[in-house]
Structure formats: C-alpha cells, structure tokens
Copies of this chain bind each other. A is one copy, B any other.
Amino acid sequence: MARPGGRSARVQEAVHGAVRELEAEVGRDALTVPLVAARAGVTPSTVYRRWGDLRELLSDVAVERLRPEAPPEDHGALAADLTTWAEQFLDEMTSPPGRAYLRDALLGDPDGNNAGRCSAYAADQIDVILARATDRGEPAPDVETVIDHVVSPMMYRILFRPSPLDADYAHHLVAGLLDGPAGAASDGTDA
C-alpha cells in the first residue's frame, strides 16, 4: 500500500533532493547510489529496494525536471503560441542539461512509464494551446498532428543527430504545419 504522507514520502524527497544537490556539486557522472544515499541520510539498500538501480532513480529525477512549470504563453493567436512554445521547447531540450535529462529519463525506464510521462507533458501543453485557439474560433489541428509535425522532428534530431538546432528550425516546422496541407483540419492521426 502506498503511504503517501508518511516516512516513505520523506525518504523519497530526501533522495531526490540529494540527487539534485550532488548533480550540481560533483556532476552527473560521479553519482553513485552509496553517495546519494549518504547525502540523503538513508542506507544504500533503501535506494536499491525502492528504485532498483541508479539509472531508474536518475530517470525519476529527470522526469521531474522535464515537467513544465507553467502553462504555455498566450499570445492571442495559434501561430504565435505554437511557434513560441516550440522555440522554447527546442531551446530547453537542446541545451546540454536538457539533453542529459532527456537521456536519463529514457534510459532507466524499463516499462516506458517515464518516457510516456514526458510525452504527456508536451501533449498537455499543446492541448492547452489548441484549446485556446478553438475558443477563439481559430481552426486548429489535432494534437497528434502537432506531435507528428513539430515535436517528433525536433526530438528525433536532438536524439539522433549531432548537428545543432536553432529557433529557425522550430519556426520552420510550425510554418510547415499551419501553412501546409491539412493546415488547420484534424486528419485523424492516431497511434
């Protein structure tokens, strides 16, 4: 049984905090379970039992850091909202820490739950943007379409390509989506 309010929660917070502190102090590559456990004031076996592995622990912490802290900015028009969001998203994810968190989140993730959460964060943000557009009466594409045309290409290039990416690329993708073919209509994409 989960006991969210008790000792378990305190331990989890202490361990997550220890990871964040030590990442800043000694660097991500120098982290070890015994080190984190000592900083958090728990025994290593506690960490191993709860997370099973340093990578899974780092994955948990990384996902926390990838969670957006605020809803996307409202610029009064779909194109501006999407473009700004995509630029900020790309900027965050291409930065060295962003890449590191992304890798960690994907890496220590046997069942894909954390990866799914990352994807859901982006989808939620996009959903807000599209809902605003609909409220304004603007025609808006489907969330899945935005993911296919904007999020996926950025992620693919971040993960697989060494070359750097700039805001122009994000702009180009959004323009290709909105000015393009099925511009504002949903096209029934589904996974």
| Given A151-B156, A156-B151, A181-B180, CB of A161 within 8 Å of CB of B107 | no
Main secondary structure, interface of A, reads: helix
Q: Which residues of B contact A106 (CB under 8 A)?
A: 103, 106-107, 159-160
Q: Does A79 contact B (CB under 8 A)?
A: no
Q: Which residues of B contact A118 (CB under 8 A)?
A: 160
**Interface bits A126-165 vs B (CB < 8 Å: 1, else 0):** 0000000000000000000001110111011101111111
| Given A181-B181, A187-B176, A191-B165, CB of A156 within 8 Å of CB of B155 | yes
Residues 96-133 of A at the B interface (beta carbon under 8 Å): 103, 106-107, 112, 115-116, 118-119
Q: Does A167 contact B (CB under 8 A)?
A: no
- For the complex formed by this chain, how many copies does it contain in all? 2
Q: Who on chain B is nearest to A188 by CB?
A: B172
- How distant is A177 from chain B, measured CB to nearest CB, in Å? 9
Q: Who on chain B is nearest to A179 by CB?
A: B181
Q: Does A189 contact B (CB under 8 A)?
A: yes
Q: Who on chain B is nearest to A183 by CB?
A: B181
Contact assessment for A191 and B107 in the assembled complex, using a CB-CB cutoff below 8 Å: no
Q: Does A48 contact B (CB under 8 A)?
A: no
Binding site for B on A (CB under 8 A): 103, 106-107, 112, 115-116, 118-119, 147-149, 151-153, 155-157, 159-165, 169, 172-173, 176, 179-182, 187, 189-191
